[in-house]
Structure 1
């Protein structure tokens, strides 16, 4: 099985937003993996962490776990940013994750029906954030690999 197909299967378990990101960057990922086989493990690790986080835990605990992984990814993005735009975007996502996390104690105090609705809403927001963060991380990895190849 090709390495790109493996990544697509992992992305499928992570959700439709992550799958679309991996599919969109498929040609670049395939080329990078051929040129830099060690990059496959890095990309697979990122997709796997997005896929596994929070899948075993439901409710507030699962959301907290997912926020933790996204926070790590935004920290990585900020630290490896090649330009100001990437650093600013990582900072903005970090603030958004902080806001989501600060809302969790309030959600625990809500009634069951209202809690379910709010948790679904937050999960959708986290899915979208996860896809955006993964996309920018992959773009950054692709850009870094192309810069190394050009040198």
Structure 2
């Protein structure tokens, strides 16, 4: 099992927003590592996937990979949702991810400068969603581990 320090290094590769979430959730993640190693391993895997997808580049395919990682996390959150509010929040994230993914083909129709600017904007929105979704994912994994799910 990896140490928290190595997880923070991987989180840094996933981008500043993911790194901030992992850093802020440090005490929770440390407790998970100690008490719920399977939940910690799941979080570690998702942070690694975020880092790997970010290294795929800023083009449409790299952005699509990042969206797919978040989509997988929202699938877990939807399945383990404990109430209507959580379900609505996950549905909202999914709609946002769908809109971002639908905008990717438009990049090819734009000029180079406009496409780069729009890809950066999409990447920033994915970063913001990554922070929200990863934070919820970590909390839900912890809650499920504490409940023995």
Flag whether TM exceeds 0.5 (same fold): yes
State the partner residue of 1:125.
125
What does the per-residue CA deviation read over 1:37-70, in whole Å, with 9 as the maximum and x for residues that have no partner? 2323211101001111141244111111111111
Give the equivalent residue in structure 2 for 1:115.
115
Task: Please show how residues 50-69 of structure 1 align to structure 2 within 5 Å.
Answer: 50-69=50-69
Equivalence for 2:94: 94
Structure with more relative contact order (C-alpha pairs < 8 Å, separation 6 or more)? 2
| C-alpha RMSD of matched pairs (Å) | 1.8
Aligned residues: 149
Partner of 1:143: 143
Unmatched segments (≥5 aa) in structure 2: none
- Could you tell me how far 1:2 is from its partner in structure 2? 6.6
CA deviation profile, 1:9-40 (whole Å, cap 9, x unmatched):
11111111111111111111111211122323
1:146, distance to aligned residue in structure 2 (A): 2.6
Q: 1: distance between equivalents of 2:41 and 2:19? A: 17
* Alpha-carbon distance between aligned partners in 2 of 1:86 and 1:100, rounded to the nearest angstrom: 21
Distance 1:99 1:143 in 2: 30
Determine the C-alpha separation between the residues in 2 that align with 1:139 and 1:121: 28
Q: Distance in 2 between matches of 1:70 and 1:27?
A: 23
Q: 2: CA distance between counterparts of 1:116 and 1:105?
A: 13
List runs of 5+ in structure 1 lacking aligned partners. Answer: none
